[in-house]
Structure 1
Amino acid sequence: MKKINVKKGTVLQRKGDINSKVYLVESGLLRSYIIDEKGKEHIYMFGPENWLVTDNCESDIPCQLYIDAIEDTTINVASKEELLKEGPDLNALLRRLNTMQNRIIMLMSSNAKKRYEHFISTYPNITQRVPLKMVASYLGITPEALSRVRNELSQQK
């Protein structure tokens, strides 16, 4: 893998790119997201330290996700083919798959409060590192709904 430093705001991958890379976050924070036909952003996942971030597209199929740096970030970059030759970090891959499975189940079956509580347990330090509108996007709720949930939870303490 090749280590690179990227500045906050750097777009590493755009929807439609063919050559998807695998990014292992050493320090900093990445996100992957889509932009729907109305221009609304939907965050698929955050990639804090020690997380892999990639699009699951095949090598000859256009990618669906944008990937960018939310903070100045140090990443290790490889093509999927290079990574598989080296042998995958199975713990990181399994952690990512488990997180995505839990998130899909949560989105299908939980209310906004449960989604936010799950987010906090999955990404304990992210709320201090990203704007709340990104958290709301990740949760699939409006920023106003997130504000209500956060207010409700703060009153319970």
Structure 2
Amino acid sequence: MKFEYPYKLIIDNISRYIDLTEPEKQKYISLLTDIKIKRKGFLLQAGETAKYEYFITKGCLKVYTLDEYGAPHISMFAVEDYWTGDMASFMTKDPSRYFIKATEDSELLGISRANYDLLFQEIPKFERFYRILYQKSLISYIIRSNHGISLTAEERYMVFKKKYPNIVNRITQKDLAAYLGITPEFMSKIISKVNRM
């Protein structure tokens, strides 16, 4: 059976890691919720409990915290074919520390905690898929933390630009600076320098 977009996108994503039968694909899709959010809208705000894990089918979102001065610290950007959410809050039902905000009009598929638990009961192989997903997320976090300690801001920018060419032109310099942990002014100088090279 052929799936229409956006379901084909999520099934293709999952199929990179596990093989699903047609009935299993149908069951999985039946557990998803379609979500649309306008640019500048919030999927999640600090203090709320994460009710879904999200797969992006269209748009761009940023995940961030605010420090004591109200300055944002962006931990990730998510675009089409990416997963996002606050896994800790989703799993523990504790309030989130994160904001998830759309930087473009966005469309997502969400799985609720109840449906997530049901999925594992009915199709146990999904435990392998989500384990791989969370492992990749953890590895990414460790590498990023290491880069924050060992690389200069310019090197971090070059790594980001190379690793995420499909994101770098869709975000503002201000947001990129908040991701790299530098001021927008310094970000502007780095971009000017790199563009002259």
TM-score by length of 1: 0.89
Select 2:158's aligned residue among 117, 123, 147.
117
Q: Distance in 1 between matches of 2:188 and 2:157?
A: 11
Unpaired runs of 5+ in structure 1? none
Q: Does 1:34 align with 2:65?
A: yes
Tell me, what secondary structure is at the counterpart of 1:121?
helix
Q: Distance in 2 between matches of 1:114 and 1:69?
A: 27
Provide, for residues 115-148 of structure 1, a one-character-per-residue CA deviation record: whole Å limited to 9, x for no partner.
Answer: 1011112221222211110000000001111112
Tell me, what secondary structure is at the counterpart of 2:95?
coil
How many Å apart are 1:98 and its aligned residue?
A: 2.8
Q: Does 1:46 align with 2:87?
A: no
Give the fraction of aligned pairs with identical amino acids, expressed as a percent.
Answer: 29
Number of aligned residues: 156
Equivalent residue for 2:97? 64
Label 1:105 to 1:84 Cα distance change in 2 as closer, same or farther (>3 A): farther
Q: Distance in 2 between matches of 1:80 and 1:142?
A: 37
Provide, for residues 54-99 of structure 1, a one-character-per-residue CA deviation record: whole Å limited to 9, x for no partner.
Answer: 1122433111101111111110112245335422544544443332
Q: Does 1:16 align with 2:57?
A: no
Q: Distance in 2 between matches of 1:69 and 1:151?
A: 27
Q: Distance in 1 between matches of 2:193 and 2:85?
A: 35
Name which one, 1 or 2, has greater alpha-carbon Rg: 2
For 1:109, give the aligned amino acid.
S
Select 1:7's aligned residue among 32, 38, 59.
38
Q: Distance in 2 between matches of 1:19 and 1:146?
A: 32
Runs of 4+ that moved beyond 6 A: none
For 2:110, give the aligned amino acid.
V
Q: Distance in 2 between matches of 1:27 and 1:137?
A: 23
Q: Is contact 1:20–1:59 with CA below 8 Å preserved after alignment?
A: no
Alignment of 1:93-132 (within 5 A): 93-132=134-173
For 1:74, give the aligned amino acid.
E
Equivalent residue for 2:191? 150
Label 1:84 to 1:118 Cα distance change in 2 as closer, same or farther (>3 A): farther
Equivalent residue for 1:133? 174
Q: Distance in 2 between matches of 1:132 and 1:37?
A: 22
Unpaired runs of 5+ in structure 2? 1-31, 120-125
